[in-house]
Structure 1
């Protein structure tokens, strides 16, 4: 075995410039031990590379792990619908709690004013006199 036979590992790794590679390939034609060593190194490298997965397995895995981005409205439609229902509920609740201002009939208002008009006028008159005395 000569000095060039020791470089079989470098040749199998593929790290040589073109001129040295050509020279070693010429040596391989004449040296059976180097051919055997390079063949063993190539088989070892092939054994270390994992085999490719079947395309059906890859596609199935890709389909399970790939998520498409949902549109904005699809993500938020439940929250928006809930908010709308809550808003309508609040409006109805406030309407139920708010006193009805049309509960007084116009005749009732006129009757109340005519009953209490003299009393209200007297109170106003006395308040006005007290106010004028202060000034």
Structure 2
């Protein structure tokens, strides 16, 4: 075994320079021992590559592990409505605790809250869409 034979592992791993590779390939034509070693190294490398999973298994696994996109309205509509109802409830509770203050017209209050709730909802919705675009 000479110095060239010691490069069989580097050749099989693809780590030789272009000149070294050309010289080793010339050597392979005359050295049966190196040809056998390179063949064994290539078979070993191929054996270490795991087989691909069947497509059906991959699809089922992907379906189970991916998050399904939930509609913004489905998630936040109830929360926003609950917040509005809670705000109105707190307002009326505070209004009853201070009877000396002038009473407010409920239609004005509901209209004001509806206006601002829609505006806040639109701002939040656009912010969320921008956030989701980043992902």
- The two structures have a TM-score, normalised by structure 2, of 0.57
Cα offset for 1:42? 0.9
| Mapped partners of 2:78, 2:53: distance in 1 | 41
| Mapped partners of 2:2, 2:89: distance in 1 | 95
* CA displacement 1:35-90 (0-9 Å, x = unmatched): 11111111111122211111221122112111133222111233345556778989
Which residue of 2 is the match for residue 11 of structure 1? 11
Query: Are residues 1:67 and 2:67 paired?
Result: yes
| Mapped partners of 2:87, 2:23: distance in 1 | 85
Between Structure 1 and Structure 2, whose CA radius of gyration is higher? 1
| Mapped partners of 2:77, 2:65: distance in 1 | 25
Q: How many residues align?
A: 99
* CA displacement 1:92-132 (0-9 Å, x = unmatched): xxxxxxxxxxxxxxxxxxxxxxxxxxxxxxxxxxxxxxxxx
- The two structures have a TM-score, normalised by structure 1, of 0.57
| Mapped partners of 2:19, 2:55: distance in 1 | 40
| Mapped partners of 2:49, 2:67: distance in 1 | 30
Which residue of 2 is the match for residue 96 of structure 1? none
Cα offset for 1:19? 1.7
**Structure 1 residues without counterparts, runs of 5 or longer:** 91-135
Which residue of 1 is the match for residue 41 of structure 2? 41
Relative contact order, CA 8 A, sep 6+: which one is greater? 2
| Mapped partners of 2:65, 2:43: distance in 1 | 34
